[in-house]
Structure 1
Amino acid sequence: MSVEVIRARALEGVAHGFLTRSGGVSEGPYASLNCGIGSHDDPAKVAENRRRAAEAVVPGAQLVGLYQVHGADAVAVLDGFDPTVRPHADALVTNRPGIALGILTADCAPVLFADTAAGVVGAAHAGWKGAVGGITDSTLLTMETLGADRGRLVTAIGPCIAQANYEVDDAFRQRFAAEDDGSDRFFRDAGAGHAMFDLAGYVAHRLARAGVRRVEIVGADTYADDTRFFSYRRATHRAAGDAGRQISIIGLTGNE
């Protein structure tokens, strides 16, 4: 089975892709394109999966990644960046061709950014903590240091857990209300002190509020589709133990 790459219309002309779990070499609960370095999968198989993923999106590029911490820090990848070091952060940006920025998810929202006029791209991991904490804002600010214009760039939010499967409690809801008084519309009451949260919708709202004019939501649900996506919450509900991670990638080829 070949590597499956989901592409966004908003990022047409930019080397990018939201990858599924298809087309790799891992087995068992990690079958097959598990790109999670921190998983309990065979490291050699993860390395091969990551190589295949990068080649499917930005052939010949150097894949770089992060030690993701559900925070709001973004890192610029410039000349001299060591690809063997994974900074503790949740977003990467670059204006250098030949670099593939990789973000891992398994229910959180991967967000890809591009300003083709400036030649700047970015990738962010937006879990709920990062989303409300401002990871997309930090990504935009870091891209601007390289010459990007947030009013000109386009973004795409990839596969993540959908509202229909993202049940949260009132304490969770109140965290958002305390940080963002426009957040309540992204919660649907589910009774008995619970609600269903629209993560992709909230991330899109934060991007629009920050001045991004074009935001696309890909719309695939990682929790519901176990044949195509890894899901941390699904694995937890099934008491399945460790979950794999899919990767989302964006890069510059010099032809944008």
Structure 2
Amino acid sequence: MLTAKPLDVLSHIRHGFFTREDGVSKGIYASLNCGYGSDDVPENVRENRARVAEKLSVEREKLLTVYQIHSPAVAEVTEPWTPDTAPQADAMVTATHGIALGILTADCAPVLFADKKARVIGAAHAGWKGAVTGVLETTIETMLRLGAERQNITAAIGPCISKEAYEVGPEFHERFLSDSDANGRWFGPSEHPGHFMFDLPGYVASRLEACEIGTVAALGHCTYQDERRFFSFRRTTHRKEKDYGRQISALMLRP
């Protein structure tokens, strides 16, 4: 489990960016696969999530994830749900203690939020689609409605695919430039003509900084390049494997 220093100092929360290590899953899902959306043995996924819950000191049924759809949708959490009744969304916000908000990723950026004074937290799944369409801004706005203050919010960006590993085509590049010419700074040259290398963590950080919140931090780990510690959708795709695991990042308000 990895942690972010700006969140470590907040005594009213627990958090962790979990790796793929120390679970029970086998094969391509080895070992801490927490994604029910994978074709892993469901009992193994339940055990892996129970281990995460134990590490966070939360009841296993109160470690929640949403049905992620690469959208700006945010769910406000007041009570637990089951995996079968999880809402379709890509972020969660709560002011209720004892509930852990979990984000599943395998290259996209997990972002954990906490107000350093108010007891309000959030978690967002920021792939490029969610980031472009406003999932980070919507998460912050939802936190503000629950009593957070913009200058007191800390956001930590967890392990995700790095610019060095994220090659994209011309249509992807054009999509970002159609929003703003300034988005060109998040693209670098590729060895393949007409293609580019995209800086997802840099882009996510820039969206957060534009929200003028108190602190934005990034762990700086690449999911694609560090196979021992992280699952990666793109690595799986390049290898033509049939499926992939998902690591989880989570935080909760202490009782």
TM-score with structure 1 setting the length: 0.94
Question: Are 1:107 and 1:232, in contact at CA under 8 Å, matched by a contact in 2?
Answer: yes
Unmatched 5+ stretches in structure 1? none
What does 1:124-139 correspond to in 2, within 5 Å?
124-139=124-139
Offset from partner CA, 1:59-111 (integer Å, 9 cap, x none) = 336111100000111111014x5344211100011111100000000000000
What does 1:48-197 correspond to in 2, within 5 Å?
48-60=47-59, 62-79=62-79, 81-84=80-83, 85-190=85-190, 191-197=192-198
**Matched AA of 2:148:** A
Offset from partner CA, 1:185-240 (integer Å, 9 cap, x none) = 11102251111001001000000011123111100000001110000000000111
Identity of aligned residues (%): 51
Question: Are 1:58 and 1:100, in contact at CA under 8 Å, matched by a contact in 2?
Answer: no
Question: Are 1:58 and 1:253, in contact at CA under 8 Å, matched by a contact in 2?
Answer: no
Shift of 1:180: 3.6
SS at match of 1:182: helix
Offset from partner CA, 1:13-71 (integer Å, 9 cap, x none) = 33101000001110011010000110000001001101111221243361111000001
Unmatched 5+ stretches in structure 2? none
CA distance in 2 between counterparts of 1:241 and 1:74 reads 30
Change (3 A) 1:94 1:188: same
Higher helix share: 2
CA distance in 1 between counterparts of 2:57 and 2:128 reads 28
CA distance in 2 between counterparts of 1:52 and 1:181 reads 45
TM-score with structure 2 setting the length: 0.94
Question: Are 2:58 and 2:100, in contact at CA under 8 Å, matched by a contact in 1?
Answer: no
CA distance in 2 between counterparts of 1:156 and 1:164 reads 21
How many residue pairs were aligned? 249
Match of 2:24 in 1: 25
**Matched AA of 2:47:** E
CA distance in 1 between counterparts of 2:177 and 2:14 reads 37
**Matched AA of 2:39:** H
Match of 1:216 in 2: 217
The alignment's C-alpha RMSD in Å is 1.2
Q: Following superposition, which runs of at least 4 residues in structure 1 exceed 3 angstroms of deviation? A: 58-61
Match of 1:229 in 2: 230
SS at match of 2:217: strand
SS at match of 2:150: coil
Question: Are 1:113 and 1:154, in contact at CA under 8 Å, matched by a contact in 2?
Answer: yes
